[in-house]
Amino acid sequence: MNGREGIPNADRFAFGKNWRSFLSVVDEERIRDAQTSLCDFLGLESLAGMRFLDVGSGSGLFSLAARRLGAEVHSFDYDPESVKCAEDLKRRYFPDDPDWRIEQGSVLDRDFMENLGQFDVCYAWGVLHHTGSLWQALSNVHVAVVEGGLLFVGIYNDQDVVSAIWERIKRTYCSGELGRTICTAVFYPAFFLSGLVIDVLHLRNPARRYKEHKRRHRGMSLVHDWKDWLGGYPYEPARPQRVISFFENLGYTLSKFKRPEYGFGNNEFLLKKEKREAR
């Protein structure tokens, strides 16, 4: 076991390795798509004058997007390789910038989270369900949101039996070379063919799915998303109402909610931390 994450490192998906590969396709178009998706969901045209916390920063793409939108950015990730990815993007686009800080840390470490200070926007998209302790992670990220601030989280949708099956598949993928080879051989063709069938049934050009993925999915890459989905373990989905109720009990109101297409993927929540009334 390493640090405060919920499972042994040997059983975890190599998120940072996948992000390192993704950096090779990051270009101006992907960065603009990331900026657009961030502004659209937050309902803001700029982040100038705001403090932005990227929880589990992964590739660093959204830290970069927030910095380009004018925010003071603090990025952290548990995976050392992911930290290096963010550092590489900073060197490429914002060298020696004092308003973009990057470090290694765990959202499950309460002391670490409390020492970060508070932020106007906390962004934790597709991250907290991979910690091995989702509800502790949700509780800890709350302390970093300033009163009146926004929390933007993406959490895997709980589909009962379907989610239980995917949890087993992900564990198999992360069990070793044999499990990874079998899962890749089975599911990559399945992902491709299922998309092809959907496109044909809807009379769409199948090639558009790949060309438009980065615009429709936050600047991401389809193949890297497939790998992240297939291997993304730990995996702890949640029903949307449970997440909403959890944060309502902490003094938040739901500003925006978006369900995933076809039930798979992340429910997206934009939550506002209400100001306490002065006594």
Burial 227-250 (b: 16+ CB within 10 A, else e): bbbbbbbbbbbbebeebbebbeeb
Instruction: Supply 12's token pair.
Output: 């975890």
Greatest distance between any 2 Cα atoms in the chain: 62
What CA–CA distance (Å, rounded) separates 183 from 245?
Answer: 36
262-275: pLDDT as tens digits: 677 899 999 999 98
Domain map (residue ranges) of the chain: 9-158+236-273, 161-231
Helical pair 61-68 and 80-93, crossing angle rounded to 10 deg? 30
Q: Is residue 214 predicted with pLDDT exceeding 70?
A: no
Q: Is residue 171 predicted with pLDDT exceeding 80?
A: yes
Which region among 215-229, 232-246, 254-268 has the lowest average model confidence (pLDDT)?
A: 215-229
Matching CATH number, 9-158+236-273, of 3.40.50.1100, 3.30.160.110, 3.40.50.300, 3.40.50.150: 3.40.50.150
Residue with the bigger pLDDT between 119 and 205: it is 119
Q: Which residues contact 267 (CB under 8 A, 6 or more apart)?
A: 154, 155, 156, 157, 238, 240, 243, 257, 258, 259, 260
Tell me the β-bridge partners of 238: 157
Instruction: Supply 148's token pair.
Output: 């009146």
67-89: pLDDT as tens digits: 999 999 999 999 999 999 999 99
pLDDT value at residue 260: 87
- The pTM (predicted TM-score) of the whole model is 0.87
Share of the chain above pLDDT 90, in %: 72
